[in-house]
Amino acid sequence: MSEVRHKAELAGKVVSVLNNLTTEQKNEALLAVAKALESGCSEIIAANEEDLQRGRENGTSLSLLDRLALNPERIKGIAEGLRQIADLPDPVGDVLETIDRPNGLHIVKRRVPLGVIGIVYEARPNVTVDAMGLCLKTGNAVVLRGGSSALSSNRKIIEIIHQALAATAIPQNAVQLIEDPSRASVDEMLKLNGLLDVVIPRGGSSLIQNVVQNATVPVIETGAGICHTFLDASAQPRMATSISLNAKVQRPSVCNAMETLLVHKDFAAQHFTDLANRFKESGVELRGCEATRQLVPWAVPASDEDYATEYNDYILNVKIVNDLDEAIAHIRRFGTKHSECIVTEDTGNAERFQREVDAAAVYHNASTRFTDGFEFGFGAEIGISTQKLHARGPMGLPALTSSKYIIQGNGQIRQ
């Protein structure tokens, strides 16, 4: 039997144990793991150094090495994240609906764990701990398939997690790490219907697309964001500047950062040259439509491919539009249904934009950078769902649960 199937089966065997745990038992286990990770800090850093060494030998990019690197401060942060998860309310067992039928049937819809969750991710070893914590808190077993570049770190982290779990009510088999670094192990996970209840990809768009295109197991698609900000004719110039700069440069590498600025022609005529200079001062390259380049000759011409690109970088597309309709049509064509914003003083336009733009989060007069589980007050984030089924937008703990109808009768039969 393959490693993937074997470990998924082991995880499946503890699902009923996990179903029976109390919130206190789960929290105690998370706190025990947090403590063990801090105690094992130097061991983890030694293992991480092996990964970094291998990465440097293979010519891995500096930004990837940075994502991979652990230090005492980061490990402390990871452990702290687990303590925060322990502090959150446990959604499992919540009653979602109660139905009393005329025939006397009493139906309760209750939140239950999903079962076994597969997580496919890349180089960041913090995802190993974070995903484990979120899954265990919600009573799920988890099968982790991290990037091969972090394998030594992940092995050590899982060893420490397993040791810590031994003294808790959570079975060690609830946490599985796939060590096979080949692409085949990912492909196998994606087809494990009946053993995995869901697969969640966490990483860049090629990883996500591979999962979406090849999985027969249900998937929660996360991530890709070509986010727009539309500065309407009536936008307050100061607010428009502040929101659009924030959406682009506060952290360009993330999915809720802006990729394209849409500007109403009347706003552009008065304010765009100033705004463009502010972007230039912040080190942002502008790629614009013809009208943009008439106002700002130093902007590079923008192609349809540019409008369809998630740069995650200091590059911004600009398009000057005639009206709200043109802005909405552009977003319909190029948006990824993640986060979109209108800056306007016109309430009617704001309402139309928020109703007609099809995205997980639609903002009026606020930066798209707020699309985030912590910023929404969820206390945790599994990711940002860009699909419409099950969960949409920032996902908190309830996104890792399902429901079950529990029906009490006294002999009812169907007529």
Among 94, 310, 356, 379, binds a second copy (CB under 8 A): 356
Complex with a second copy: residue 64 or 254, whichever CB lies closer: 254
Write the interaction track for a second copy spanning residues 5-24; mark x where CB under 8 A is met and - where it is not. ----------xx--xx----
Backbone angles phi, psi at 141, to 5 degrees: -85, 155
Scanning residues 249 to 308, which ones bind a second copy (CB under 8 A)?
Answer: 250-251
Q: 260 - beta bridge partners?
A: 228, 317
- Give the rounded distance of the alpha carbon of 81 from its chain centre: 16
Stretch that binds a second copy, among 130-138, 173-181, 304-312, 369-377 (CB under 8 A): 369-377
How far apart are the C-alpha atoms of 395 and 131, rounded to whole Å? 12
Question: Helix, strand or coil for residue 213?
Answer: helix
Q: Is 319 helix (H, G, I), strand (E, B) or coil?
A: strand
The one among 62, 358, 382, 386 contacting a second copy by CB under 8 A: 358
Among 209, 207, 251, which Cα is nearest to 227's? 251
Please, is 410 exposed, middle or buried when counting C-beta atoms within 10 Å of its C-beta (0-12, 13-18, 19+)? exposed
Q: Which of 29, 243, 258, 320 binds a second copy (CB under 8 A)?
A: 243
Judged by beta carbon, residue 101 or residue 183, the one nearer a second copy is 101
CA 71 to CA 46: how far, in whole Å?
10
- Please report whether residue 166 would count as binding a second copy according to CB under 8 A: no
Residue 99 binds a second copy (CB under 8 A): yes
CA distances from 341 to 63, 245, 273, 331, 377 (A): 29, 13, 21, 10, 20
Please, what is the minimum distance in Å from the beta carbon of residue 340 to a second copy?
10
Which has the closest alpha carbon to 111: 396, 379, 377, 314? 396
Instruction: Please state the closest distance from residue 398 (CB atom) to a second copy, in A.
Output: 10
Q: CA-to-CA distance for 289 and 267, rounded, in angstroms?
A: 15
Closest to a second copy by CB, 146 or 223: 223
Nearer to a second copy, 146 or 393 (CB): 393
Q: Which is nearer to a second copy, 37 or 196 (CB)?
A: 196
**CA-CA distance, 332 to 358, in Å (whole number)?**
7
From the CB of 99, what's the least distance to a second copy, in Å?
6
Report if residue 345 touches a second copy, rule: CB under 8 A: no
Strand partners, 141: 116
Q: Do residues 263 and 279 lie in contact, with contact meaning Cβ atoms separated by under 8 Å?
A: no
Length of the chain: 415
Out of 62, 297, 348, 355, the residue judged to bind a second copy by CB under 8 A: 355
413 binds a second copy (CB under 8 A): yes
Q: Binding a second copy by CB under 8 A: which of 23, 163, 172, 236?
A: 236
Which two structure tokens, joined as six digits, stand for 396?
A: 């908190």
- Binding to a second copy (CB under 8 A) within 193-212 occurs at 193, 197-198, 212
Q: Out of 14, 169, 207, 239, point to the residue binding a second copy (CB under 8 A).
A: 239
Residues that bind a second copy (CB under 8 A): 15-16, 19-20, 99, 101, 105, 107, 109, 112, 114-115, 193, 197-198, 212-213, 216, 218-220, 236, 239, 242-243, 246, 250-251, 328, 332, 354-356, 358-367, 369-371, 375-377, 387-390, 392-394, 402-414
